[in-house]
Amino acid sequence: MSNAVEPQTNPTSQGKQKKPFDLFQFLYKYGTIITIVALIIIFYIANPLFLQPSNIINILRSISIVTIIAIGLTISLSVNGFDLSIGSVASLSNAVVISMFIWYSQSTVIAISTAILAALVIGALNAFLIVKVRIPDMLLTLAMMFIVQGIALTYTRGATISENMIMADGNYATGEISNAFGMLGKVPWIIIIMLITVVVVHIFLTYTKHGRYMYVIGGNQEAARLSGIPVKKYKVIAYLLSAFFASIGGIVLASRVMTAEINAGGPYLMDAVAAAFIGLSVLGAGKPNAFGTFVGACLIGILANGLVMLSVPYYAMDIVKGTVFALALALTYYKMK
């Protein structure tokens, strides 16, 4: 093509630099944290019990599973991917780990390893179909979400697995969930697992070569490839890690409820997506990051807890969560404009 002398589309910045105070930028950076502080104050005024240590622990416990799953999603987002199958993978891991105890009387280690392994198989399948077959991530993981949901249901034969359940042959199930496993879902372990996940992934994404490569791939895949970064390998790793953390989330969930309900992990998908997207803007990071995701999960958790205390019915909670999510998206996309 002949390049006529046209204006080079110069970077848009120059005009922006000298503004004394940019309210939007400020809100973008600190909006989430200000909102959290404001919510805490409001809920405290409405009900002083809100800031009781027991309630704070309650909130942290309530967000721990969402956070763990959302951290996995954050990793897939960091390579500019997306993983909608995390909720179903959590359900599957939940079903597998419980069934290993109750149906097959396995040890804790074997039960947990099997659940993680099942999730990694799904992660590998996701990675293969996205990286090799080149199906758009959002669509593929949507399909995978249904498939895995179906697998989990089929595996449990559409029933809830619990101790002393009646088996197909009419006898009671004899397997028991080990005490050690039962600890995972209780305070303080559930909170410790969450915090370790957040810190480790934050270090991984921010301070290691691998994390840097993932962000570079997420920023510009072609530039990353031409810089000699093995793009495919890191995308595969991202989807494996995403499935891995979804599985951890499912296992912790299993320990918390000690049963495998139908599609138990499903509801965590939306909360995880919301947490990760709210986290994009925290402290102006502008990209998926583990700390931000944790803050996002906190915001959702505080909101849910506070509203329950204010006697807002639980069934109206999705309206609030959805609205917060939409606001976070508005903030992100308005900035990109």
| Binding-site ranges for other proteins (CB under 8 A) | 1-8, 10-14, 17, 207-210, 212-213, 215-216, 219-220, 222-230, 286-287
For tokens 């019915």, what's the residue?
313
Minimal distance in Å, beta carbon 297 to other proteins?
Answer: 24
Minimal distance in Å, beta carbon 228 to other proteins?
Answer: 3
Minimal distance in Å, beta carbon 70 to other proteins?
Answer: 22
What does each C-alpha distance from 227 to 79, 132, 208, 217, 236 come to in angstroms?
15, 20, 17, 10, 18
Minimal distance in Å, beta carbon 65 to other proteins?
Answer: 29
* Rounded CA separation 337/334 (Å): 5
Main-chain phi, psi angles of 92, to 5 degrees:
-60, -45
Minimal distance in Å, beta carbon 272 to other proteins?
Answer: 24
Tell me the Ramachandran region of residue 268: left when phi exceeds 0, alpha when psi lies from -120 to 50, beta otherwise.
alpha
Tell me the CB-side half-sphere exposure of residue 300, using CA atoms within 13 A: 36
Residue 328's contacts (CB-CB under 8 Å, 6 or more residues apart) are 32, 274, 277, 278, 280, 281, 296
- Between residues 160 and 225, which has the closer beta carbon with respect to other proteins? 225
- Between residues 189 and 215, which has the closer beta carbon with respect to other proteins? 215
Minimal distance in Å, beta carbon 234 to other proteins?
Answer: 11
Minimal distance in Å, beta carbon 226 to other proteins?
Answer: 5
- Between residues 229 and 269, which has the closer beta carbon with respect to other proteins? 229
* Rounded CA separation 12/226 (Å): 26
- Amino acid identity, position 239: Y
- Between residues 47 and 221, which has the closer beta carbon with respect to other proteins? 221
- Between residues 157 and 209, which has the closer beta carbon with respect to other proteins? 209
- Between residues 14 and 311, which has the closer beta carbon with respect to other proteins? 14
61-89 exposure pattern, b = at least 16 Cβ within 10 A, e = fewer: bbbbbbbbbbbbbbbbbbbbbbbbbbbbb
- Between residues 82 and 213, which has the closer beta carbon with respect to other proteins? 213
Burial of 201 (0-12, 13-18, 19+ CB in 10 A): buried
